[in-house]
Structure 1
Amino acid sequence: MPENRGVVYEGPGKVEVREVGYPDFELKDGPGVNPANVGRKLPHAAIIKTVATNICGSDQHMVRGRTTAPHGLVLGHEITGEVIETGPDVEYIKTGDLVSVPFNISCGRCRNCKARKTDICENVNPDRPGSAYGYVDMGGWVGGQADFALVPYADWNLLKFPDKDQAMEKMLDLAMLADIFPTGFHGCVSAGVQPGSTVYVAGAGPVGLAAAASAFLLGAAVVIVGDLNKQRLEQARSFGCETVDVSQGAPEDQIEQILGVPEVDCAVDAVGFEARGHGRDSGQEQPATVLNSLMGLTRAGGALGIPGLYVTGDPGAHDEAAKHGSLSLRLGLGWSKSLAFTTGQCPVMKYNRQLMMAILHDRVQIAKAVNATSIPLEMAPQGYHEFDEGAARKYVLDPHGMLTKAA
């Protein structure tokens, strides 16, 4: 069997690239694998040679020690690759297909999957609905920041690119289909973005930038992005966004300077549970800040899309309630304004085919918007460090040098 290197979480602030097991058509015991999943047969799976696998802010939460992720966990849930082997029950996906892997693992058979709610599949995680590769409390499916990865229910999960040569030419863009582009788009759809909307996106990390690009794709008139990081705000301005530096104070005042009113039609939370305060409190972690802020600045009758990650267990939280995912929300404000809230993982398969077509036919340049930057797999620790330091980039790992060759 070929060597398989993977990016492994070894404790807070530490990741290593080391030899990991080659994928098998049976789920083996290992770090984070749910005991009820050990020995699970996978004749419906495919083995993927990884072409691109991205570092995500959700991975960064684990690497910072802000979850209960076990040491030894192979990271990575944003996978794009070439099928090199299929199990005996795979009927339609073929060896040689170039594919995008939704970060949600779903069976295609349960009640939720049949309702297009693939983010909360009932059959892949014994603990609760919903699963993902290389992520804490998600069933223990091995992560994809590796040379090779296994995808269960391949006929259902995999999105095949129609033309391999065309796909390789646009691979940095297509690599965003596994997570952040659909996730940002879902945040905007959930918030009700439509032609002529004014939109506020909290967070100028890759998901926030993807949400901003999605808002334009959906026809928004004005897209305003708020963050503390000046380089990331500059990246947002590079493709037409207005920006708000929340270190200077509450975003409402700056929004009013842009729009003439201190509110927007639609708002997206692309920050999540490691949010910091605004203005003088910007150096302090205040996990409810963004949610409370969005309730204040969204017009009555509007909606909030909340793709930013919130967790049930945060051992690094600064207060006891937040350690269990309990936040001090101004729910009365949201209720009084009749605001709608949509939370949870993005159901990637609901959007990825349409977004693939938008990429292939030059309707969006998502890699440019998020400043996608490819690096070799062995540079993953450096990529994690620079991302944690606030780099205005989306790091894409290139295990086999295929992105470099295509470029």
Structure 2
Amino acid sequence: MSQGNRGVVYMGPGNVEVQSIPFPELALGNRQCHHGVILKVLTTNICGSDQHMVRGRTTAPEGLVLGHEITGEVIECGRDVEFVKVGDIVSVPFNIACGRCRNCKEGRTGICLNVNPARPGAAYGYVDMGGWVGGQTEYVMVPYADFNLLVFPERDRALDKIQDLTMLSDIFPTGFHGCVTAGVGPGSTVYIAGAGPVGLAAAVSAQLLGAACVVIGDMNPERLKQAASFGCETLDLRQDTPMADMLEPIVGDREVDCAVDAVGFEARCHGHDHAHEQPAMVLNAVMDITRAGGQIGIPGLYVTEDPGAESDEAKHGNLSMRFGLGWAKSHSFHTGQCPVMKYHRQLMQAILFEKVQIANAVNVQLISLDGAPGGYADFDGGVAKKFVIDPHGSVAA
């Protein structure tokens, strides 16, 4: 099978283009990929992690086809694919995992040992993640299909919920993972740093896990309004007021039980100095307002190389973190990529049985493939939307 294909391509800081790209093949380098499938992409989302690359804050090479949040229809299966069938509607975890290595067998699919020669862990269309072609395209190849893909059980039901289900490839499991690793449970008070899409997904996840009170902090009024729209309390961090002082009237205490860092390495100072970057700001803040013995989930992205950082130390991923404070308060920290497969089936069920409306929470906006550059620009400007690309116009239709 061979036909046309187009994709969103990184062309340098601040510049993405929609270009013609090769139609995917069931091949890995010079050998055939009998365990893979080719998907017609139904939805593919713009992620905050993509924005880090497009801003020039990573070592991403020009010409990289972007996109790691993929939902699609199987149109071709490799010879060795046994359980996934042509016509299946599937969610693609952003982690590429072989299913065979020690880490995969332990459920740690975010750090598979066999899919990236440079380091553990791989992803589609992402810097230092194995060179895999991204999925902000019309068609894409997915390897190890029987292991990686989540097949939706009913086609019509899946298509009806596609704007919710598209969040299963990354941000919904990632937000949920942040909350699980922070120890969120029934009756918890939770602080979430950042009201971008991952932070909003974490807030929904905290509610799903039974949190009594979910507080989100951000400096973007539009995003704080979006968080409030589904029952979150909010902290406007443009104020110079200490966070503990803002928390106390909301939760009745100056500390919370659990905290989630959904911001990552481009964190900025609070208050009047909010234009100034301070990469460890969120980590230090959440240690300050999390109770002794509490847990901190860190799904926000931190990188080993940040060429756009303000300091030489931060350019190499070295942060001025108050680790002594965390040690003194016996905090637990959990970092790294979310192992999507650990959660995506359960979260699919929550969507299909209408226990959660994740698309409404993150404020999905459908755009065309040709609208992707504008979506990147608007997202970079701070709009409170989650842009979902509809490459074939099938969802809008």
TM-score by length of 2: 0.99
Determine whether 1:123 maps to 2:114: yes
Deviation, structure 1 residue 40 = 4.9
Instruction: State the distance in 1 between where 2:328 and 2:32 align.
Output: 50
Matches within 5 A, 1:241-280: 241-249=232-240, 250-280=242-272
- Bigger CA drift: 388-397 or 17-26? 17-26
Instruction: State the distance in 1 between where 2:382 and 2:169 align.
Output: 22
The equivalent of 1:368 in structure 2 is 360
Q: Which amino acid aligns with 2:260?
A: V
Is contact 1:68-1:313 (8 Å) kept? yes
The equivalent of 1:25 in structure 2 is 26
The equivalent of 2:329 in structure 1 is 337
Instruction: State the distance in 2 between where 1:244 and 1:200 align.
Output: 10
Q: Once superposed, which parts of structure 1, at least 4 consecutive aligned residues long, lie more than 6 Å away? A: none
The equivalent of 2:132 in structure 1 is 141
Determine whether 1:191 maps to 2:192: no
Q: How many residues align structurally?
A: 395
Q: Which amino acid aligns with 1:401?
A: G
Instruction: State the distance in 1 between where 2:319 and 2:146 align.
Output: 40
The equivalent of 2:311 in structure 1 is 319
Instruction: State the distance in 1 between where 2:248 and 2:328 align.
Output: 22
The equivalent of 1:92 in structure 2 is 83
Query: Which whole-Å deviations, capped at 9, do the CAs of 1:242-287 have from their partners, x for residues lacking one?
Result: 0001110332221112112111000000000000001122110110
Determine whether 1:346 maps to 2:347: no
Q: Which amino acid aligns with 1:321?
A: E
The equivalent of 1:307 in structure 2 is 299
Matches within 5 A, 1:99-114: 99-114=90-105
The equivalent of 1:2 in structure 2 is 3
The equivalent of 1:11 in structure 2 is 12
Is contact 1:226-1:251 (8 Å) kept? no
Aligned match of 1:356 in 348, 351, 354?
A: 348
Is contact 1:67-1:316 (8 Å) kept? yes
Is contact 1:73-1:134 (8 Å) kept? yes
Question: Percent same amino acid among aligned pairs?
Answer: 67
The equivalent of 1:35 in structure 2 is none
Instruction: State the distance in 2 between where 1:234 and 1:71 align.
Output: 36
Aligned match of 1:213 in 200, 204, 217?
A: 204
Partner of 2:312, secondary structure, is coil
TM-score by length of 1: 0.96
Determine whether 1:225 maps to 2:216: yes
Determine whether 1:201 maps to 2:192: yes
| RMSD (Å) for aligned C-alpha atoms | 0.7
Query: Which whole-Å deviations, capped at 9, do the CAs of 1:84-124 have from their partners, x for residues lacking one?
Result: 00111111101000000000000000000000000000000
Q: Which amino acid aligns with 1:23?
A: P
Q: Which amino acid aligns with 2:354?
A: D
Q: Which amino acid aligns with 1:336?
A: A
Matches within 5 A, 1:377-388: 377-388=369-380
Q: Which amino acid aligns with 1:350?
A: K
Structure 2 unaligned regions, length at least 5? none
Instruction: State the distance in 2 between where 1:116 and 1:180 align.
Output: 18
Partner of 1:248, secondary structure, is coil
Instruction: State the distance in 2 between where 1:41 and 1:106 align.
Output: 17
